[in-house]
Every structure is written in structure tokens, then in C-alpha cells.
Chains A and B, each alone.
Chain A
Amino acid sequence: MTAIPASARIVLDTVIPARVPWSAIIRKGQTLRIVDSHGQQAVDTLFYAASDFGERYSGQDTLRAQGSAYVTTGTRIMSTEGRTMLRMVADSCGLHDTSAGACSCESNTVRFGHQTKYLHACRENFVLEAAKHGLSKRDIVPNLNFFMNVPLDPDGNFTVVDGVSKPGDYVEMIAEMDVLCLISNCPQVNNPCNGFFPTPIQVVIYEAGED
């Protein structure tokens, strides 16, 4: 893992335990680093413009701007208003999804059977965390899934398969506007997105220092 420059000012450095939600404001110019500390852990992530939560992450605009079905270094993370929210500047993993959305109690019943209804899910995390900022289920949109491997073949087949992220793999994004970031450290154990064993992740927010 590339070290954070010694001159940088660390704004926040925290561990998000397995299955748990988190949120913070990332100011314009700050860098968000998300570390898959143990590997194979899907990190479901949403962004909202801090000045207007009605402007929020758009997976479809992000893919269109990217010209491809995956997200990696160079991807502009786009808002519903067509503006760049963050730019992805580092990616040691190379495979991230923004088409499959988050798991929910309700979609789990359809995907895996009615017996999976009462399992903790990402949308439960998102709704709880969003509520701290005055947002509700209505504001939860399909999200980015860092470290989640969702191959899409030319015939349109679409599956969640084993993540390829190794312990310590990370992504970095520079905020181009003040954004609220919501993360659900995915609790799913019915598919391989977490290697069937959810693990903690690390989040660092930092500002480049004077050289």
C-alpha cells in the first residue's frame, strides 16, 4: 500500500467494523482512502452534495462518463446533476461495481429465498446512517460497491463472484465538492461479495500538506 505522504494532514483515520455503517463529510480537495483491510470485503458507498442533499451519486452517470461498466483509477464519480463529485486517483484492486446496488432485506428474499428476510443488510445500514443527516429511504439510491466483483458478459449475464481484493488493497478519491459520504460495510453472507465472512475496513480522510 502506498503510504500517505508524511506532509499530509490526517483529518480522520478510523476502522469500520464488519457489518457496520459510517458517514462523514469530505471537504473539497480532501482525499478519501478506503482500505479493504482483510481482503474480499464489499464496501457499499453513497455520496451526497453537502450543500444540497437532493444532488447525489448517480451510478448511471458515472458509468456513462467512464464509457465502461466498471469503476477504476480515472473514473469521475458523477452526481445526478451531471457534476463530478470526486475523482478516483488510486486503485490497487482494479475491480469495483456500480450496477448491482446494495443488498436489502427485501431484495434478499427475492434473490436467496424468503428465509433470508431477517438478516442485516446494507440498506438497513444506509437508512440508519442517512437518518442522522435528515435523509430517508427515499434518498437511498443505487450505490458504488468498492472491491465487489460483478462480471458482466457480452450476452448480458450478470453475477456476483469472488472478490479479487487482497488484504490492504485500497482506493483513493479526491473530492471536487464538499460531499457527505455514507458507507455500509456490507454484512451479506449469501453471496461471495464478502468471501462469506464480513471483515473490518479502514477509512482515512486526509489533506495534502505543503511540500
Chain B
Amino acid sequence: MILTEQEKAEVEANRRRYEQHKALGQQQAPKALPPPTPRDGAPIAADAIIHRETVPGGWYYVTKLGRGEAVRIINTSGTSCVSIQAWNALDPSERLNHADTIKVQWAASLRKGRVILSDMGRALLSIIEDTSGAHDTMVGGSNAATNAARYGAGNFRNTRDNFVLAAGKLGLDRRDVHPSIAFFAPVAVDSQGRFEWHGERRHQGDFVDLRAELDLLIAVSNCPHPLDPSPSYAPGDIDLIRYQASQLAADDLCRTVSLEAKRAFENNAFYLAGAAGRA
């Protein structure tokens, strides 16, 4: 394609803008992300706790999470993997978008300080505490076929079916089941792009705290990750603690850590102001 001089100038201007933007996104912001939360750290005040639940291995859990509430997901056995789905409770066509989450933040790895974005350019969940940083955004959960391939014949619960069940109970259906993010799933890629499993990065008592930034519907599936090489299907229980998080402050880590997160929270503010206006 032969470009005119003016088109060439536009291309160069666009490229310069991108290079500046990339430098900001990758170098200046994020400012140093915090270290992982210690496994014996970040206690939850007793009067902030709304609900506790133990989800048995293989099972799923559905809840509504009001804006400002958080859920702590605890890997009590140390061998569990927890996949999640999230939808805007007022309009479930807005949902967790793993692709935007990693692309916009220039990072396939999630850890304390990162946000989970919706397909509408808003922050759905903030990762306000996280002991491990060993999570998977690339490969997602198990299904009947991956279980059969790993464990052979048998009736093993899987994440895909759990999410279809969860969606059904929320009045949604399998069209609403979308790619998921899997916590406590230590998936990495090597220099060739091949997936690796780093089981040693999971520890008993690991937890991650997700704070809802809009009123949300949440589904959680507690099934082994499809890349978990363990030949036996033996998912452990997980504990969930739903609690009232502290007020979202102007200097909140998750909304100031990068320019991208800041803009996502600005989009939340525009949306919430509009929602209040309609009420």
C-alpha cells in the first residue's frame, strides 16, 4: 500500500503517541506494586464480616456482592484452584473480560493492586489483598473433556458445568458463561510461549481478597485447574468470607497504581453518577 506524505505523517504521529503511552503504562505506572500480603496478615475485623461459607471440593458458589463489599477466598488445603465469573447485577451483559484485564494493564499476571475489568471499560473487582500472585488469566477452568483426559472415566465435577449451573441460578444461561480467571493456578509461560505449571507457588492458607466496584453477581468454582498435573481428582475445600471493605479512598492503591486503573475508576464514577441520577 503506497501511503501519501500526509498518511505517513499520521502513522508517525500515531506511533510516537503509542511509544509515549507504552512507556507510561509499563515504566512510570504502575508505581511499584506492593509485595504480596503475608499469609498471617490482613485480618478482617469481626464486625465487618457479613457471611462465611465453606465450598466443598468440586462445587460452586453464587452470590451477589454489593459495591464496597469484598470476598476473601482462602485456599485452605493449599491444593485448590478457584475460578470466577462476574456480571454487573443491573445489566449482566456487562461482565468480566479477562482479555481487557490483561491487555489494558500490560500484564498477564494478576496480584495485589490490580483490577479486573469489564467489557465496558469499568473496574468490576479490585484485588485488595493477595498472598500469592500465582493466578491464571490465560487458560481458564476445566470442563468434562479435560477432566476425562486427566482422570479417566468417572463423574468428576468441572468448572464449565459449574458455571452453567451458576448462570442458570442467576437467571442467565450458557451464553453468559465467559472466559474466567483462575486463582491459585500457578500457570506461567516459558520463553517459547508454552504453558508451565508451578505447583510450588501454591501454599496452604493462601488467600485473595476481591472488592466489588459495582453491584455484582459472582460465581465461584472450586475445581482442579486443567493444567494441574496431579493424576488424582481430589479438590480440597475452600473458605469464603464476605465482608464490608473499608470506604474507597481517593488514594486507594487499586485505583492509583496505574493511569489505566485511574481511567477505569473514572468510568465507574461516570456510570455510578448516571445510575444515581436515574433512581
- Residues of A at the B interface (CB closer than 8 Å) are 38, 53-54, 58-61, 63-64, 67-70, 80-82, 99-102, 104-114, 123, 136-142, 150, 152-160, 189-192, 195-197, 199
Contacts and interface: CB of A to CB of B under 8 A. Distances in A.
Contact of B21 (A112, A141, A196): A112
A106 B120 contact: yes
B267 A152 contact: no
Contacts of B92: 138
Contacts of A67: 194-195
Contact of B103 (A60, A61, A101): A101
Contacts of B260: 110-111
Q: Is the interface of A mostly helix, strand, loop or mixed?
A: loop
B104 A58 contact: no
Interface string B194-211: 110000000000000000
Contacts of B178: 141-142
Contacts of B121: 104-110
What interface size band does chain B fall in?
35 or more
B117 interface: yes
Contacts of A59: 99, 179
Nearest to A145: B99
A190 B120 CA distance: 18
B175 A99 contact: no
B194 to A, nearest CB: 5
B102 A110 contact: no
B26 interface: yes
B52 interface: no
A158 B108 contact: yes
Contacts of A199: 1
Contact of A192 (B1, B18, B109, B117): B18
A15 to B, nearest CB: 13
